[in-house]
Structures are given as C-alpha cells and as structure tokens.
Amino acid sequence: MIPADVSAILPKLDTRITRFRMFACHHRPDRSFFWRGKPFPVCARCTGLYAGYAAGAVLFWWLPADLRWGLLVLPLAVDGYTQYRGWRTSTNTLRFLTGFPAGIGVVLFSFSLAHTLLDALRPLLHAFFQ
C-alpha cells in the first residue's frame, strides 16, 4: 500500500516521465512495436537506437578504431529523410534496423571523441594534480 502523501506525487511524476519520453521520442503508436497489446514507450527507430547504444558500449572495445562511424548513421539518415520528404513510407522493422547501427555509430563516435580528448588533456591533468 502506498502512503497517501506519496500517492499524491505519483501522477505528477508520471506526467513528468511522459513529458521527458515525448521530448526524446514522438511515441506514435503506429510507429512503435507492441508487447502484450501495449506500445513500447518509444518508437521503433528509438528502440533500435537505444539497443544500438547498449551494443556500441560493449562493441567499442573490440571494434577497430578506424571504423567509420558515419557509415553506420547513414542508413538512418537516408530512411528518415526519404520518409520525411514523402518519397516513401518506412516500416517499423526498417526503422529498427536503421536505428540499431546508428546507435552503435553514435556510441563509437562519442567514445572515440572522449578518448581523444582525455588523451589530449592527460599531460595537463597530470601536471595539475602533481
């Protein structure tokens, strides 16, 4: 049983979570996967991106450093742009399949950038903390 003072806060918290989710994703049911009759909290493309983020965080340590992350993002950009222009209609499966490698590409770029910046700052940090 939830205490009365906490139960009054829950609807506000749910609204805030929903707003954040809507900020991060449009959450259109027609563009979402369904589980047990309910739509995922994010669309199919964002589901692929988030799964790609997780995979990229693991794969970063085993993939070659010179992997062209931009090539992984390109399919998502083409799929999103052609659908936005009305040239064709994408499917949830295609949205997921283009979002997944893009998520990996974003993580590879972010981790590589962070690694490069830390390497560049290492002498400065070393001198500052000694």
Q: What is the mean pLDDT of each run of 10 residues along the chain (130 residues)?
A: 49 54 70 86 87 86 72 90 91 92 88 86 82
- pTM score of the predicted model: 0.68
Sign of the alpha-carbon torsion through 89, 92, 97, 103: positive
CA distance 118 to 115: 5
pLDDT at 57: 83
Ordered DSSP codes for 51-105: HHHHHHHHHTTTS-TT--HHHHHHHHHHHHHHHHTTS----HHHHHHHHHHHHHH
Please give the structure tokens belonging to residue 34.
């369904």
40 Cα distance to chain centroid: 14
